[in-house]
């Protein structure tokens, strides 16, 4: 389980549940947050209680849940919305209904949830959920855009799919793991958008070089590090393009993903997107060689060659380094065993990168396929920073901190 406590000062999350069927998914979110060590408190609106009970969320969060019945009760020494607003490092409104959205967009406060939002200054993560026609109403979209003009609010997109009204369309709430990842990002950054408007181009996963339609040269990379880099950049305000090899994960809402199979395809896409990128992070594990010959028919076992003639694939990042403009930052990865620093420094120089992530792949719970990672960051200025084992999302945030400030 990833531990989100990278910023030990920020770990108090107030989940505000609105009245929609997606409220049932918030139970899983609260449960997972608690297990990852975050302090969780929950507010339910009156209509949220029609879908799930305060008892469910109190049990999962290990703390009484707050409802409008408790608002302004004389037993509280200080007004509850002030207490809660001051307590929270982060507010999450999930599901955000059309009604609560409209109130927030106009600064209204008529229940505990909306009063607490106005009585706090921390970042607010919004996860809307509603029927497609409701979500697409001009008034709702206007309120949504209006609310997001305030940098305090971080809006998650809605997914398309089967809705509770049996329609298929936009308006589904983001899934709990995606909300959880966004929460972990905001706990790390405190809500800052230091990549706002920047275009970040990321390569991820392993490439495959086919010998025939079923056999290939590849490696165990799953693309999870590149996925985390895409999520972290998105949550810091970037416009993200993710060029990835075969992968088993879902592309995050709001990320432009371009699937590729082999190094040449990856090279073409990276070249095409390079001119507009401000930062390029090459985390892909590119297969270094390919079979010289390709058979369009599956080779029978008896015709398989005893030894395979190979030829090199293009070194994508070296080419990008030649093509890039001085303002563009180019960061590579070096997956290594044993001494990770010497070969990484060599690659930093020979490939003319701005920075490189030396990544051990012979340590437990780190590198290929793991949810966690450890690394040493090195850059052209001679800086060298060791990052202790942490989740890949945290690693991604440390890397952006390093790239933007030289520190983590």
Pick the closer one to ligand C5P by CB: 44 or 266: 266
For residue 377, which of 334, 339, 338, 315 has the smallest C-alpha distance?
Answer: 334
Pick the closer one to ligand C5P by CB: 88 or 330: 330
Identify whether 122 is a catalytic site residue: no
Q: Is 192 annotated as a binding residue?
A: no
Residue 252 per-residue DSSP state: P
Q: For residue 346, is it left (φ>0), alpha (ψ between -120 and 50) or beta?
A: alpha
Q: At closest approach, how far in Å is the CB of 306 from ligand C5P?
A: 26
d(CA 369, CA 347): 23
Helix axes 176-189, 23-35, angle to 10 degrees: 50
Q: Which residue has the tokens 């999302």?
A: 393
Q: Is 213 annotated as a binding residue?
A: no
Q: Is 361 annotated as a binding residue?
A: no
Q: At closest approach, how far in Å is the CB of 337 from ligand C5P?
A: 11
Q: Is 316 annotated as a binding residue?
A: yes
- Helix residue ranges per DSSP H, 11-137: 23-35, 54-61, 80-87, 98-105, 112-118, 132-136
| DSSP string for 188-221 | HHTT--TTTT-EEEEEESB--EESSSS-EE----
Contacts to ligand C5P by CB under 6 A? 263, 282, 284, 286, 288, 313, 315-317, 332-334, 347
Q: At closest approach, how far in Å is the CB of 255 from ligand C5P?
A: 19
Sequence-distant (≥ 6) Cβ neighbours of residue 306 within 8 angstroms = none
Exposure on the CB side of residue 279, measured as CA atoms within 13 A: 25
Q: At closest approach, how far in Å is the CB of 243 from ligand C5P?
A: 11
d(CA 68, CA 54): 11
Q: At closest approach, how far in Å is the CB of 100 from ligand C5P?
A: 44
Q: At closest approach, how far in Å is the CB of 50 from ligand C5P?
A: 51
Residue 285 per-residue DSSP state: B
Pick the closer one to ligand C5P by CB: 23 or 317: 317
Pick the closer one to ligand C5P by CB: 115 or 262: 262
- Bridge-based pairing of strands 168-172 and 159-162 is antiparallel
Question: What is the dihedral angle through the alpha carbons of 187, 189, 191, 195, rounded to the nearest 10 degrees?
Answer: -150
Considering 16, 27, 122, 165, which one is annotated as catalytic?
165
Q: Is 407 annotated as a binding residue?
A: no
Pick the closer one to ligand C5P by CB: 238 or 282: 282
Q: Is 288 annotated as a binding residue?
A: yes
For residue 186, which of 236, 240, 121 has the smallest C-alpha distance?
Answer: 236
Pick the closer one to ligand C5P by CB: 140 or 356: 356
Q: Is 333 annotated as a binding residue?
A: yes
Pick the closer one to ligand C5P by CB: 139 or 337: 337
Q: At closest approach, how far in Å is the CB of 267 from ligand C5P?
A: 8
For residues 136-162, b (16+ Cβ closer than 10 Å) or e, as one string?
eeeebeebbeebeeeeebbbbebeeee
d(CA 258, CA 272): 12
- Bridge-based pairing of strands 355-360 and 289-291 is unpaired
Residue ranges of the binding site for CTP = 288, 298, 314-317, 333, 347, 351
Which residues are identified as catalytic?
A: 165
Residue ranges of the binding site = 288, 298, 314-317, 333, 347, 351
């Amino acid at each position: 389980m990833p531990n989100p406590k990278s910023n030990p000062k920020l770990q108090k999350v107030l989940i505000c549940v609105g009245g929609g069927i997606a409220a049932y998914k918030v139970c899983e979110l609260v449960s997972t947050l608690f297990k990852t060590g975050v302090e969780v408190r929950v507010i339910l609106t009156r209509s949220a209680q029609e879908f799930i009970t305060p008892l469910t969320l109190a049990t999962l969060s290990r703390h009484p849940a707050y409802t409008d019945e408790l608002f302004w009760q004389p037993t509280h020494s200080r007004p509850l919305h002030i207490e809660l607003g001051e307590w929270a490092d982060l507010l999450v409104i999930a599901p955000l209904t059309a009604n609560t959205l409209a109130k927030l967009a106009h600064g209204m406060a008529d229940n505990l949830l909306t009063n607490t939002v106005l009585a706090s200054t921390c970042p607010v993560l919004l996860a809307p959920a509603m029927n497609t026609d409701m979500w697409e109403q001009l008034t709702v979209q206007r309120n949504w855009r209006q609310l997001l003009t305030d940098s305090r609010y971080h809006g998650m997109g809605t997914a398309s799919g089967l809705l509770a009204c049996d329609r298929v369309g936009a308006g589904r709430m983001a899934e709990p793991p995606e909300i959880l990842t966004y929460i972990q990002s905001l706990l790390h950054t405190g809500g800052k958008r230091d990549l706002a408007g920047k275009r970040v181009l990321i390569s991820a996963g392993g490439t495959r070089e086919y010998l025939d339609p079923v056999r290939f040269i590849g490696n165990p990379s799953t693309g999870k590090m590149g996925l985390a880099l895409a999520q972290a950049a998105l949550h810091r305000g970037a416009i993200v393009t993710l060029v990835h090899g075969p992968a088993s994960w879902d592309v995050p809402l709001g990320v432009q993903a371009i699937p590729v199979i082999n190094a040449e395809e990856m090279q073409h896409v990276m070249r095409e997107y390079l001119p507009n990128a401000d930062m390029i992070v090459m985390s892909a594990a590119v297969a270094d060689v390919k079979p010289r010959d390709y058979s369009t028919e599956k080779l029978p076992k008896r015709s398989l060659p005893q030894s395979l003639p190979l030829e090199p694939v293009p070194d994508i990042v070296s080419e990008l380094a030649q093509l890039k403009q001085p303002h563009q930052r180019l960061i590579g990865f070096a997956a290594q065993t044993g001494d990770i620093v010497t070969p990484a420094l060599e690659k930093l120089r020979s490939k003319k990168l701005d920075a490189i992530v030396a990544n051990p792949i012979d340590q437990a719970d780190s590198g290929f396929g793991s949810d966690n990672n450890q690394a040493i960051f090195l850059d052209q200025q001679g800086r060298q920073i060791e990052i202790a084992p942490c989740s890949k999302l945290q690693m991604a945030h440390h890397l952006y901190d390093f790239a933007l400030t030289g520190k983590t």
